[in-house]
């Protein structure tokens, strides 16, 4: 069992929500709270998907 939120695998639903929130230009801090994941994890996944996040 994963020890931290960063260790949890991303679900298809979370990835879809991330894509939608990034497209809506929602700030990374808000995305992090909505997905209940650390900002580092959100940034890493967005980068993996070739997306850039709003920083404020």
Check residue 53 and give its pLDDT: 87
* pLDDT tens per residue across span 36-55: 999 999 999 999 999 998 76
Check residue 9 and give its pLDDT: 93
For residue 2, pLDDT over 60 is answered with: no
Which DSSP category does 27 fall into?
Answer: B
Residue pair 43/28 in contact by the 8 Å Cβ criterion: yes
Check residue 29 and give its pLDDT: 95
d(C-alpha 33, C-alpha 15), whole Å? 14
User: How much of the chain is helix, strand and coil, in % rounded to 5?
Assistant: 60, 5, 40
User: pTM (2 decimals)?
Assistant: 0.83
- What does residue 2 show for φ and ψ, rounded to 5 degrees? -60, 145
* pLDDT tens per residue across span 7-19: 789 999 999 999 9
């Amino acid at each position: 069992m994963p020890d931290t939120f960063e260790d949890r695998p991303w679900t298809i639903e979370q990835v879809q929500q991330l894509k939608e929130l990034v497209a809506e230009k929602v700030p990374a801090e808000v995305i992090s709270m909505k997905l209940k994941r650390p900002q580092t994890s959100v940034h890493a996944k967005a980068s993996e998907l070739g997306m850039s996040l709003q920083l404020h």
